[in-house]
Amino acid sequence: MSVRLTPRNTTFFDLLAESARHLVTGADLLSQLLGAERPQRKAIADQLRDAEHAADESTHSIMRRLNQTFVTPFDRDDIYRLASGLDDCMDSMEEAGDLIVLYKLDALPALVNDQVDVLRRCAELTADAMPRLRSMKDLAEYWVEVNRLENQADRTYRKLLAEMFNDGTDAIELMKLKEVVDALEAAADSFEKVANHVETIALKES
């Protein structure tokens, strides 16, 4: 068992937990946007953009604290990568919602809902895991499950592409839809990267 000789600044744990909570809000809004009629989508996309701005502010708070703190609770670069990874998750989800509205997409394939369901679960797991960084306990199930979900997202993404290109006839609509599903796939990848960062941190601190 390692003995820590430096004090632990708990502010970072609070800020990372706050950042992860924004992801739950963002994923829930994205799900609402998919289920809404096209005229209602812009208002939800605006809320999603507000959530993304709030997440950005949480990220900036972490970065400012890093610049002001001499002793950090774990490796400074790991905190930076973790905060940046959380921000990437939100950015991709907001991008997907924004594209759906900007491209005036109507009915979306059912598998897009499956993509977003995975993101919602990843967001919940991530928000639940961040407070446990204080003790570095009971985190393995988190990164194992997020990796499993990301593999599921990959399979869904490939099936979506196959359906789109096998059944689609409008090339412009296909291009628009592909940008959306690419953004959702990028969000799933970002959640996996966050889980991988957490695993690395936990292994270093064990």
Degrees, nearest 5: CA angle 198-203-204:
100
Q: Is residue 5 part of a domain?
A: no
Q: Is residue 1 part of a domain?
A: no
| pLDDT for residue 205 | 83
| pLDDT for residue 5 | 35
Q: How many CA atoms lie within 13 A of 47 on its CB side?
A: 14
| pLDDT for residue 6 | 40
Q: Which residue has the higher pLDDT, 135 or 69?
A: 135
Looking at every residue in the chain, the average pLDDT score rounds to 92
Least confident of 8-17, 18-27, 134-143: 8-17
Give me the count of residues in the chain: 206
Helix axes 140-167, 110-129, angle to 10 degrees: 160
In this structure, what CATH number is given to the domain that contains residue 185? 1.20.58.220
| pLDDT for residue 61 | 92
Which element (helix H / strand E) includes 184? helix 171-205
The parent domain of residue 25 ranges over 11-205
Tell me which long-range contacts 74-82 makes (C-beta under 8 A, separation of at least 24): 74/133, 74/201, 74/204, 74/205, 75/201, 75/204, 78/197, 78/200, 78/201, 78/204, 79/12, 79/16, 81/197, 82/16, 82/194, 82/197, 82/198, 82/201
Q: How many domains are there within the chain?
A: 1
Cβ within 8 Å of residue 69, ≥6 positions away: 9, 11, 12
Q: Is residue 4 part of a domain?
A: no
The rounded distance, in Å, linking the Cα atoms of 107 and 30 is: 15
Q: Is residue 2 part of a domain?
A: no
The rounded distance, in Å, linking the Cα atoms of 1 and 203 is: 12
Task: Count CB atoms within 10 A of the CB of residue 141.
Answer: 10
Q: Is residue 116 part of a domain?
A: yes
- Tens-digit pLDDT profile for residues 163-200: 999 987 789 999 999 999 999 999 999 999 999 999 99
Q: Is residue 80 part of a domain?
A: yes
| pLDDT for residue 72 | 77
| pLDDT for residue 8 | 52
Q: Is residue 128 part of a domain?
A: yes
Q: Is residue 6 part of a domain?
A: no
